[in-house]
Amino acid sequence: MSGLVSTEAPILTGLIEQGYTVLAVVSHHTESQSRKQRPLEVAAIAEKHGIPVLLPNKPDDIYDQLAAFDADVAVLSAYGRIVSQKVIDLFPLGIVNIHPSLLPKYRGPTPIESAIANGDTEAGVSIMSLEAGMDSGPVYGQTTVALNGTETKFDLYETLSAAGARLFFDLFPSILSEESQAQPQVGEPLYCQLLSKEDAFIDPTALTAQEIEQRIRAYLVFPKTKMTIAGHLVIITAAQVVDSVESILDIVCKDNSVLRLTQLVSPTSGRPISGKDFLNGYAAD
């Protein structure tokens, strides 16, 4: 069975180790803001095994190349580009997509951030058959992980990446043999949106302390969480909900809830500092 891959390192490595014929890897130059995974890592694995790496702006740009591979199936994970129906139709067994949410919940580009920011108690991965619609294809299987309320988006990415790889390799043989048939998604779709720089700025009067704390964990690296404290625009990287106000780093939020900023990025050095160090170095300016 031969195929093309646009995917992450664990999936690509697993496909190679399990003896599948990978004809090419399709990636792109940019890094997803949701993940630490870099295309360079995937490219290095592919190069080590003599697998061509294609880097188009969009898959339609290399339609003829993809068609020439005459692959049976494609595997998609963390690609971050729209795939047209005509590209999907190149593969007799379709494109198998690994999506980090419990579809139809969190269709769209930011399921990991959304699960954390919304205070969900569980998250998961869906193995699905790709359609041209936004994450609307039928599902082969899902796996669920419990959330403890302290995960950053990087923690959850790593957890879901491992869980998704296990589920994918459990299901992939039966998908290829067509013993496993994808089933339509059940329930009302819930969509998540692409985040922007404007999402970094928080309004404590509009959000509770718990809601802001969740956003801080969800928005690390991008779009980040920002607030002006003692005349300094700071990036907040960690916080906790507390009962009372003791310093300017204790922010009164919606419903009189209080959020204590415990780690920030220094306005001058750009390095993480504790709330105590910020009070000593900047609050007295």
Q: pLDDT tens-digit profile of 113-144?
A: 999 999 999 999 999 999 998 999 999 999 99
CB contact set of 204 (below 8 Å; sequence gap of 6+): 212, 227, 251, 252, 253, 254, 259
pLDDT in tens, 177-192: 999 999 999 999 999 9
CB contact set of 275 (below 8 Å; sequence gap of 6+): 247, 249, 260, 261, 262, 263, 264
- Number of domain units in the chain: 2
Residue 33 has pLDDT above 60, yes or no: no
Return the percentage of the chain with pLDDT > 90, whole number: 81
Burial class (CB within 10 angstroms; exposed 0-12, middle 13-18, buried 19+) of 119: middle
My answer on whether 239 and 147 are in the same domain is no
My answer on whether 181 and 210 are in the same domain is no
Question: 230-266: buried (b, 16+ CB within 10 Å) or exposed (e) per residue?
Answer: eeeebbbbbbeeeeeeeeebbbebeeebbbbbbbbbb
Domain's final residue, options 163, 191, 219: 191
- Cα separation, 33 vs 82, in Å, equals 17
My answer on whether 79 and 214 are in the same domain is no
Within 13 Å, how many C-alpha atoms sit on residue 22's CB side? 29
Residues in the chain, overall count: 285
- What Cα–Cα distance (Å) separates residue 252 from each residue in 16, 188, 229, 241, 255? 53, 36, 13, 10, 9
My answer on whether 210 and 130 are in the same domain is no
Residue 278 has pLDDT above 50, yes or no: yes
What the block records as the tokens of 173 is 């043989």
The model's confidence at residue 29, banded by pLDDT at 50, 70 and 90, is: low
> Can you tell me whether residue 65 is helix, strand or coil?
helix
My answer on whether 226 and 110 are in the same domain is no
The rounded radius of gyration (Å) of the Cα atoms in the chain is 22
My answer on whether 7 and 136 are in the same domain is yes
Domain's final residue, options 170, 191, 212: 191
My answer on whether 94 and 207 are in the same domain is no
Domain CATH code at residue 141: 3.40.50.170
My answer on whether 86 and 176 are in the same domain is yes
My answer on whether 167 and 32 are in the same domain is yes
Is residue 62 within 8 A of residue 86, CB to CB? The reply is no
The pLDDT, as a whole number, for residue 5 is: 54
pLDDT in tens, 203-221: 999 999 999 999 999 999 8
Domain CATH code at residue 250: 3.10.25.10
Domain's final residue, options 191, 207, 223: 191
pTM above 0.85, yes or no: yes
My answer on whether 209 and 184 are in the same domain is no
Place of tokens 């890897």: 25
Is residue 205 within 8 A of residue 232, CB to CB? The reply is no
> Can you tell me whether residue 143 is helix, strand or coil?
strand
My answer on whether 182 and 258 are in the same domain is no
Domain that holds residue 183: 2-191
